[in-house]
Amino acid sequence: MFFNNLKIAFRTLVKNKTYTTINIVGLMVGIAAVLLIYRMVSYELSFNKNFVHHDRIVRVVGTDPGDVSEQNLGVCIPVAAMRALRTDVPQFEKVARIRENWATLTVPGETEGIPKRKFSMGQDDIAFFADPEFDDIFKLTWLSGNNVSALGQPSNIMLSRSWAEKLFDNWEDATGKMVKIDNFIPLTVQGVFEDLPYNTDFPLTSLISYPTLELTQHREYLGLAPDDSWNSCSSNNQVYALLKDENQIDAANAVLANIGKDGYNLAPNGKRKTHLIQPFSMLHYDDELQNSGRSRTPYRSIKILIFIGILILLIASFNFINLATSQATQRAKEVGVRKTLGGRPAQLIAQFMSETALIVGISLILGMVLAEFALPLLQYVSDVPLDKPFLMESNIWLLLLCIFGIVTLLAGLYPAFVLSSYRPVEALSKNIKTRSLGGINLQRSLVVAQFVVSSILIISAAITIKQLNYIQNQDLGFKEDLVYTFSINTDSISLGKHTVLKNKLNAISGITDVSLNSDQPISSNTWSGNFRIEGRSEDETFETSYKFVDDNYHRTFGLQLLAGKWLAPSDTFQQVIVNETFIRKTKLGTPEEALQKKVQVWGKYYPIVGVVKDFHTHSLHTAHQPLTMVSRKDFFWQVGVKMTNQNIQGSLASLQKTFDEVYPEQVLNGQFMDERIQKFYEDDQRMSALCKGFGLLAIFISCLGLLGLAMHAAARRTKEIGVRKVLGASISNIVSLLSKDFILLVVIALFIAIPVAWYMMSQWLADFAYHVDLHWSIFFVAGMLAILVAFITVGIQGFRAAVADPIRALRDE
């Protein structure tokens, strides 16, 4: 019986080629989209699961008292707190301090100061200064010299396999050799561990023994706070721990709440910093707390992806239901005959389900092939590595089986029941109507649902595109064009050559300005602290952020002074520049009036010598904040270079040459400002690309369904169209006759989609401090687009029907 069903199913599908093709193409595209989404979701969900103890690992984080109203979570742990955490929490089996570091590792050469090899860690690599307990917690795989206790002694380093190979060609040769951090801090290689997989948030190049940090000369170089400091900390200092039992998080949190009670100062808002636990399983998904990896993906984004996947699969299944029910009348006679001959409903259902299963099966195979071809497109929306074929994905067979089962049931069950429920006498009668079977309303509802989803995605895409254009064309308050920035070291030797570098760069003909500074105008870094205005009794209740800049910063980055003058050349604090928001929030009056005032920074008062027009210091997600700019030479770990637009490649080559001459031990690791700025909006661009991509897919699948229905409507109404033509109907009469029902459905869908999209996109835009308004024209244009696409789809069918020969339609035989 099964093979008989399959054989008949196959014949039926071959007979109705158009119907079969539309169904298979729609389902294939839908399934391919779901597989691509699965690839992204499974990749994101696989993060950090490779560690043996992953469910017992936690990170200790801090709650910063923050501003008056809010309490911010932060990852930084002061050095003194680290010490307490190692001993005072009984629920911790092991505790490891780490300090993140993005160093240049060098292999010393024969000539002093010029290394044999040098490699700098970009944003995607990291080194940890770590305690030996780090390995107890994370259980690395050791290739050689698993002498983990060496991490307890100063000046030791463990390399990852790939970095050992970079530095020494063969990892086997690395152990026992010497490498240097920034060609300055010497370390002995004590072991090599296997590279951590791509799906961890530890892109570790090396582990450096934590006590290395405690040597005085290194502490100064790395700018560390003194050991006993509770009230100064860097987000690079973090603590990981292994719980004795994974269920002890609450107990540990209770203990943590008391740590630092005597150490931390009270903030102006009366609160004190405390600690709590972030489960390691949240490291990749936390909105607020940064990690050491390449990216974070909030659960919200993963849920959106899964939701889009389900919607697309639903839309594709709806097509199937619609086309199958619209075909129902044509199959009625067959049903009537089969029932008359003794076919039971269950047998008929089995037969119709076989057809569905066959279509879903074929679509599934084609969908997998399509997904494999479309895989490279994922790079626009995700970090997912693209080298693994789909079938190697874990659980992929289970997913395929689920899709097969769910879609077959979802798409096939209703039409099968409708068809098999015909009474033979009704089914054999010539006048059977889809209308009488309740199929029409269902079809209409499903078409509306499809277009609601498509329209929401299309409107969202339009709004994200508009917002991204707005961001890109927004005046940031500084000039990012042709400004190249790169980092430099600030150890005492490098510091001594800063001016040499600056002068040499200034001498290059394609370079107009050079500035040494702590940070470019816009960045994700924040230095901030309390401050006081001279003559006031208390610190302000809000913080100011700081930038440490030289006398040429404003020219290099094109900042606009509103009053006063720029900072005079100086190695240390002498004067300050503030921005408009600073004087507005501190109520210092006009920019000119503010020039008379002094600001207390780190214990001493300095005069405001200039007020600069507000410029964006963070992405457009954040509003302007008070900003103070001062000069401090030992914080100049970045260089900004303004170039002319002539022979940029030549200028870059000269810059590289100059850098290598001045700092032969360092690696030039630079980028143009506009590329850096783009990075801030990577997530937003991905969101936009997702909406665009899946919006187009959704509308494509919906239109396929509409095409099928329109073809069917035209076929069903052939006689009517013939009569109308004979009576004098024009082509446009017929086209509008066939299209208006469908267009009405799309219009209804728009009325539902627009408020939903409005709400969703206001939520999204609320995350930007500066954003476009949700003007009605966006909705109008997107709506018109949906109507136009639908009209073209059904209109073409209408046109074909309208120009067909009416005699064929009216012939009785």
Partner 1 sequence: MIRTNKLKKVYRTEEIETTALNEVDLHIQPGEFVSIMGPSGCGKSTLLNILGLIDNPSGGEYFFLDEEVSKYSERQRSNLRKHNIGFIFQSFNLIDELSVYENVELPMLYTKVPAGERKKRTEELLEKMNMMHRKNHFPQQLSGGQQQRVAVARAIVNNPKIILADEPTGNLDSANGDDVMKTLAQLNQEGTTIIMVTHSAYCSEFGNRVVRLLDGQIVSENTIAKYRI
Residues that bind partner 1 (CB under 8 A): 431, 719-720, 722-730, 733, 803, 805-807, 810, 812
Report the residue number, 725 or 771, with the smaller CB distance to partner 1.
725
| 3-class SS of residue 243 | strand
> Whose CA is closest to 179, among 106, 71, 276?
106
Report the residue number, 178 or 807, with the smaller CB distance to partner 1.
807
615: Cβ–Cβ under 8 A, 6 or more apart, which residues? 476, 477, 478, 521, 522, 559, 579
Smallest gap from residue 388 Cβ to partner 1 (A): 52
Three-class DSSP labels, 487-556 = ECCCCHHHHHCHHHHHHHHHCCCCEEEEEEECCCCCCCCCCEECCEECCCCCCCCCCEEEEEECCCHHHH
> Whose CA is closest to 260, among 67, 127, 76?
76
Smallest gap from residue 709 Cβ to partner 1 (A): 16
- The first and second tokens of residue 579, run together, are 């921005």
Report the residue number, 110 or 813, with the smaller CB distance to partner 1.
813
Report the residue number, 215 or 731, with the smaller CB distance to partner 1.
731
Q: Cα separation of 544 and 523, whole Å? A: 15
DSSP H or E stretch at residue 190: strand 185-193
Instruction: Using the structure block, give the residue that is written with the tokens 């789809």.
Output: 793
Number of H helices, E strands in the chain: 26, 25
Three-class DSSP labels, 568-583 = CCCCCCCCEEEEHHHH
Report the residue number, 192 or 721, with the smaller CB distance to partner 1.
721
482: Cβ–Cβ under 8 A, 6 or more apart, which residues? 642, 643, 644, 645, 648, 672
Smallest gap from residue 682 Cβ to partner 1 (A): 55
Smallest gap from residue 409 Cβ to partner 1 (A): 34
Instruction: Using the structure block, give the residue that is written with the tokens 């795989």.
Output: 141
As to burial, measured by CB atoms within 10 angstroms (0-12 exposed, 13-18 middle, 19+ buried), residue 85 is: buried
Looking from the CA of 219 toward its CB, the CA atoms found within 13 Å total: 10
Q: Cα separation of 408 and 355, whole Å? A: 9
How far out from the chain centre does Cα 731 lie? 50
Smallest gap from residue 810 Cβ to partner 1 (A): 6
Smallest gap from residue 18 Cβ to partner 1 (A): 22
Looking from the CA of 282 toward its CB, the CA atoms found within 13 Å total: 13
Report the residue number, 290 or 718, with the smaller CB distance to partner 1.
718
Report the residue number, 56 or 724, with the smaller CB distance to partner 1.
724
Smallest gap from residue 339 Cβ to partner 1 (A): 23
Smallest gap from residue 690 Cβ to partner 1 (A): 43
Smallest gap from residue 730 Cβ to partner 1 (A): 7
Smallest gap from residue 434 Cβ to partner 1 (A): 12
191: Cβ–Cβ under 8 A, 6 or more apart, which residues? 142, 143, 144, 145, 146, 147, 148, 150, 158, 159, 175
Smallest gap from residue 686 Cβ to partner 1 (A): 49
Q: Cα separation of 748 and 742, whole Å? A: 10
CA distances from residue 264 to 258, 273, 378 in whole angstroms, order as listed:
11, 6, 47
Report the residue number, 387 or 812, with the smaller CB distance to partner 1.
812
Report angle CA 553, 549, 480 to the nearest 5 degrees: 40
Smallest gap from residue 430 Cβ to partner 1 (A): 10
Report the residue number, 103 or 737, with the smaller CB distance to partner 1.
737
Report the residue number, 341 or 727, with the smaller CB distance to partner 1.
727
614: Cβ–Cβ under 8 A, 6 or more apart, which residues? 477, 579, 580, 581, 624
Q: Cα separation of 631 and 516, whole Å? A: 10
Q: Strand 204-209 vs strand 156-160: parallel, antiparallel, or unpaired?
A: antiparallel
Report angle CA 474, 687, 197 to the nearest 5 degrees: 120
Q: Strand 544-548 vs strand 627-630: parallel, antiparallel, or unpaired?
A: parallel
Say if residues 116 and 109 touch (Cβ distance below 8 Å): yes
Report the residue number, 795 or 806, with the smaller CB distance to partner 1.
806
Q: Cα separation of 464 and 748, whole Å? A: 24
Report the residue number, 693 or 806, with the smaller CB distance to partner 1.
806
Say if residues 212 and 129 touch (Cβ distance below 8 Å): yes
CA distances from residue 95 to 62, 88, 286, 412 in whole angstroms, order as listed:
16, 10, 22, 57
Smallest gap from residue 751 Cβ to partner 1 (A): 26
Report the residue number, 366 or 723, with the smaller CB distance to partner 1.
723
Report the residue number, 535 or 728, with the smaller CB distance to partner 1.
728
Smallest gap from residue 353 Cβ to partner 1 (A): 32
Smallest gap from residue 393 Cβ to partner 1 (A): 50
CA distances from residue 554 to 142, 458, 524 in whole angstroms, order as listed:
50, 42, 20
- The first and second tokens of residue 243, run together, are 């719980």
Report the residue number, 469 or 730, with the smaller CB distance to partner 1.
730
Say if residues 600 and 538 touch (Cβ distance below 8 Å): no
Report the residue number, 508 or 734, with the smaller CB distance to partner 1.
734
Smallest gap from residue 334 Cβ to partner 1 (A): 22
Smallest gap from residue 802 Cβ to partner 1 (A): 10
Q: Cα separation of 121 and 507, whole Å? A: 29
Q: Cα separation of 693 and 641, whole Å? A: 38
Smallest gap from residue 423 Cβ to partner 1 (A): 18
Report the residue number, 435 or 536, with the smaller CB distance to partner 1.
435
Report the residue number, 561 or 723, with the smaller CB distance to partner 1.
723
